[in-house]
Structure 1
């Protein structure tokens, strides 16, 4: 797993903890947005790497 995927997984984990235990308020939603951005950036950068290997 790349570092971006690890960071994204940790953020999603903490978001789920906050969702289940009702802690964090708006910070939890911010973490979800950050996790989504991290996964999208990793997905896009992964696509660009595969194009260069043809």
Structure 2
């Protein structure tokens, strides 16, 4: 497991990773946020909720 120099470094890494993940959903139209594709087990909204939870 990676260790961080400080609490601030850990928080910065979490924020950076979250922003990268969140950006993946920018292209998803609002009317598709609840659509579950056959090859994916979660909707875009469920993926975001799971990661934030």
TM-score range, shorter chain: 0.3 to 0.5
- The TM-score, its normalising length taken from structure 1, stands at 0.39
Question: If the length of structure 2 is used for normalisation, what is the TM-score?
Answer: 0.39
Where relative contact order (Cα < 8 A, 6+ residues apart) is larger, the structure is 1
Which has the larger helix fraction? 1
